[in-house]
């Protein structure tokens, strides 16, 4: 509420005036980037598959480190140069000859896919409250939304970022303290399934104790690439993360943010994997009905209820920090790039701010409805869909925009359309079960981007600028 009082314009609401300290941006980006996926989805996957999930962790960590070292300061400088408020506004200003269409198509793509991502966070809240208090998961989703939506509507990006800081601290404490006490608990309880992670993986079966789930040859390559494919979504293609880079106050602050972001990531992913494997040692490979409840289940088993409650808020914090970020990003994309351009007359800053808040509220209601009717109740699955449709597609567009001078607006537009359609068609056809779209979308989008850059003539503005 305190930060929300500082919001005076749509620029404050959308990007905090591009004036964030480095440490704030880093913790906010990490809390947003991990979501309930890091405290529920990833430990759940580690619990279900054993060592195989190391490839997912490697892909994510390498991608995050690449983003902070190579992209963060560049995107910050670009945002300052072009004075942008939203992710697609940057792309439209860089590729001015078709900037209008990039705004429309890009914003529509982001809003469409992010409905599912926000829904995944509401699912995460419902699962956590169900595990802790035996509350009906659907009621838990409603409670979760009631917590998130009001301050997001009021304070926008600024309130979201500063609550992210607290949430990132709670998350990292849970991911450090949880595994440490878990190891101690295992050593003191011989009646458990196993007294160590290595013993648990070996006892659970050969597929748990293998980096390839027991597969060899081509099959092993497929599962390794499927896990590592999360890497491609971090290459600038997640708008909610790139906006944190763009909002950093200065280049000096960007360096501070990089160091904090990288360190946080390495610690967090080690902790998340260990919690999943500790779950195997405590409950056995088939001891939990819902694999993604392993984090709260382990914490409740290892700690006294009072401490467990505090640590499990790490999962709730992870979910909240992403849900509010996605809501505000979707709302500003819709407001600034789809609705505002259609307005025939100029509106003052107060009316723009009211419009942004109203759209945020509307999107929250729609996302909650989607979470209720979603055909999949797996956070991991929902997030992977977004990672392909948004991450794989926009990573290609951002990378080529920053590093290839010949890349132009028409090619960017074709790439966005192709990535979105390919992801939808691929997943709908059932081919996702054979080869993940998280890797295919990236390379399909890349091929289209390169070919269209070479054979399609750029617009006049791009030629004159070159």
3-class SS string, the chain: CCCHHHCCCHHHHHHHHHCECHHHHHHHHHHHHHHHHHHHHHHHHHHHHHHHHHHHHHHHHHHHHHHHHHHHHHHHHHHHHHCCCCHHHHHHHHCHHHHHHHHHHHHHHHHHHHHHHHHHHHHHHHHHHHHHHCCCHHHHHHHHHHHHHHHHHHHHHHHHHHHHHHHHHHHHHHHHHHHHHHHHHHHHCCCCCCCCHHHHHHHHCCCCCCCCCCCCHHHHHHHHHHHHHHHHHHCCCCHHHHHHHHCECCHHHHHHHHHHHHHHHHHHHHHHHHHHHHHHHHHCCCCCCCHHHHHHHHHHHHCCHHHHHHHHHHHHHHHHHHHHHHHHHHHHHHHHHHHHHHCCCCCCHHHHHHHHHHHHHHHHHHHHHHHHHCCCCCHHHHHHHHHHHHHHHHHHHHHHHHHCCCCCHHHHHHHHHHHHHHHHHHHHCCHHHCCCHHHHHHHHHHHHHHHHHHHCCCCHHHHHHC
Task: Quote the percentage of the chain above a pLDDT of 90.
Answer: 48
Q: Determine, yes or no, domain membership for 107.
A: no
Residue 55 has a pLDDT of: 94
Least confident of 25-34, 72-81, 343-352, 390-399: 343-352
What are the contacts of 89-92 at 24+ separation with CB within 8 A? 89/336, 89/337, 90/246, 91/397, 91/398, 91/401, 91/412, 92/337
Q: Is residue 190 part of a domain?
A: yes
Residue 466 in this model has a pLDDT that exceeds 50: no
Closest CA to 263 of 37, 69, 41, 52: 69
In a domain, 105, yes or no: no
In a domain, 294, yes or no: yes
Kindly state whether residue 257 falls inside one of the protein's structural domains. yes
> pTM of the full predicted structure?
0.87
Q: How confident is the model over 452-463, as pLDDT tens digits?
A: 999 998 865 544
Count CB atoms within 10 A of the CB of residue 266: 13
135: left (phi over 0), alpha (psi -120 to 50) or beta: beta
The residue-averaged pLDDT of 271-288 equals 94
Provide the domain limits for residue 200. Answer: 4-98+118-378
The lowest-confidence range among 130-134, 196-200, 424-428 is 130-134
Which pLDDT does position 463 carry in this prediction?
Answer: 41
CA-to-CA distance for 318 and 320, rounded, in angstroms?
6
Q: What are phi and psi of 280, to 5 degrees?
A: -65, -45
Distance CA 466, CA 462 (A): 6
List, for residues 139-166, the tens digit of each pLDDT value.
988 998 898 889 998 988 999 999 999 9
Establish if 414 belongs to a structural domain: no
Q: Is the pLDDT of residue 344 over 70?
A: no
What pLDDT was estimated at residue 464? 37
- Give pLDDT, residue 1: 83
* pLDDT computed for residue 290 by the predictor: 85
Number of separate domains in the chain: 1
- CATH at 69: 1.20.1730.10
Whether 136 maps to a domain, the answer reads yes
Average pLDDT over residues 19-37: 89
Average pLDDT of the segment spanning 231-260: 93
Q: Is residue 374 within 8 Å of residue 394, measured between CB atoms? A: no
In whole angstroms, give the CA distance from residue 376 to residue 253: 40
Q: Give the tens place of pLDDT for each residue, 354-404.
A: 888 888 888 888 888 877 776 555 555 666 677 788 989 999 999 999 999
> At 53, is the pLDDT very low, low, confident or very high (cuts 50, 70, 90)?
very high
Reply yes or no on whether the pLDDT at 281 is more than 90: yes
Would 434 be classed as within a structural domain?
A: no
Question: Is pLDDT of 65 > 50?
Answer: yes
Query: How far from the centroid of its chain's Cα atoms is residue 155's Cα?
Result: 21
Q: What pLDDT does 375 receive?
A: 53
Q: Is the pLDDT of residue 295 over 60?
A: yes
Q: Indicate the average pLDDT of the chain.
A: 88
Residue 366, exposed/middle/buried by CB under 10 A (0-12, 13-18, 19+)?
A: middle
């Amino acid at each position: 509420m305190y930060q929300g009082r500082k919001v005076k314009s749509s620029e404050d609401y959308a990007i905090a005036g591009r004036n964030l300290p480095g440490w704030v941006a880093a913790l906010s980006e990490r809390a947003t980037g991990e979501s309930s996926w890091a405290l529920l989805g990833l430990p759940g996957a580690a619990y279900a598959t054993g060592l195989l999930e190391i490839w997912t962790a490697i892909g994510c960590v390498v991608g995050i480190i690449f983003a902070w070292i190579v992209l963060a300061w560049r995107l910050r400088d670009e945002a300052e140069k072009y004075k942008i408020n939203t992710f697609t506004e940057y792309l439209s200003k860089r590729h001015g000859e078709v900037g209008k269409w990039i705004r429309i198509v890009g914003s529509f793509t982001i809003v469409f896919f992010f409905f599912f991502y926000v829904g995944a966070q509401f699912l995460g809240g419902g699962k956590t409250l169900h595990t802790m208090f035996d509350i009906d998961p659907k009621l838990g989703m409603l409670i979760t939304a009631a917590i998130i939506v009001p301050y997001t509507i009021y304070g926008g990006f600024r309130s979201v970022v500063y609550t992210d800081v607290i949430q990132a601290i709670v998350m990292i404490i849970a991911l450090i303290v949880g595994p440490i006490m878990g190891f101690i608990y295992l050593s003191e309880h011989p009646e458990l399934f196993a007294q160590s992670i290595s013993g648990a993986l070996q006892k659970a079966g050969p597929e748990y104790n293998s980096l390839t789930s027991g597969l060899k040859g081509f099959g092993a390559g497929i599962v390794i690439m499927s896990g590592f494919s999360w890497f491609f979504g971090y290459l600038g293609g997640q708008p909610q993360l790139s906006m944190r880079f763009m909002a950093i106050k200065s280049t000096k602050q960007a360096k501070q943010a990089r160091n904090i972001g990288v360190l946080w990531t390495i610690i967090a992913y080690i902790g998340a994997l260990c919690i999943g494997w500790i779950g195997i040692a405590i409950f056995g490979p088939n001891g939990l009905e819902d694999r993604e409840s392993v984090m709260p289940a382990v914490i409740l088993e290892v700690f006294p209820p009072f401490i467990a409650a505090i640590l499990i808020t790490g999962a709730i914090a992870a979910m909240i920090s992403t849900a509010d970020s996605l809501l505000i990003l979707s709302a500003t994309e819709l407001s600034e790039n789809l609705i505002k351009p259609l307005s025939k007359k100029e509106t003052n800053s107060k009316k723009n701010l009211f419009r942004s808040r109203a759209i945020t509220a509307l999107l929250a209601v729609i996302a909650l409805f989607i979470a209720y009717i979603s055909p999949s109740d797996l956070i991991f699955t929902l997030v992977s869909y977004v990672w392909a449709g948004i991450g794989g597609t926009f990573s290609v567009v951002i990378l080529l925009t920053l590093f290839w001078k010949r890349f132009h607006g028409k090619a960017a537009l074709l790439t966005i359309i192709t990535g979105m359609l390919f992801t939808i068609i691929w997943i709908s056809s059932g081919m996702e079960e054979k080869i993940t779209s998280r890797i295919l979308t990236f390379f399909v989008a890349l091929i289209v981007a390169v070919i269209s850059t070479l054979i399609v003539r750029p617009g006049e503005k791009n030629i004159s600028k070159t």
